[in-house]
Amino acid sequence: MIMRTVANKVLIMIVCVCNNVSDKAICQAVEQSGVRTFIQLQRVTTAATCCGKCSSCAKQVLHTAVERYEEQMMAELEGVAFA
């Protein structure tokens, strides 16, 4: 999950104002629902399904969340031996 803090306060960015979808909700969709594509994101969170003006921002947040999650998973797998 991506958390932004300033002076010990968590800041959340609303990505889709029409459907009140935050960057945190997008990160949770990646981590908990396995979202990897924009269409999956729309189905799971309803982001960018109304006016569509947030599409580019939603795609950017999704891309970043997927990259960070996959990096985290790869780091956890380092040193694990598979039989």
Please give the average per-residue pLDDT across 5-13, as a whole number.
Answer: 73
Q: Domain count of the chain?
A: 1
Please give the average per-residue pLDDT across 14-43, as a whole number.
Answer: 97
Helices 55-77 and 23-33: angle between axes, nearest 10 degrees: 40
Flag whether 46 is in a domain.
Answer: yes
pLDDT band at 41 (very low <50, low <70, confident <90, very high): very high
Residue 47: domain span: 22-77
What is the reported pLDDT for 33?
98
- Candidates 53, 4, 51, 59; CA nearest to 26 is 59
Flag whether 6 is in a domain.
Answer: no
What is the reported pLDDT for 51?
96
| Higher-scoring residue by pLDDT: 39, 77 | 39
What is the reported pLDDT for 1?
40
Flag whether 5 is in a domain.
Answer: no
User: How far is it, in rounded angstroms, from Cα 62 to Cα 71?
Assistant: 14
Please give the average per-residue pLDDT across 40-58, as a whole number.
Answer: 97
CATH number at residue 73: 1.10.10.1100
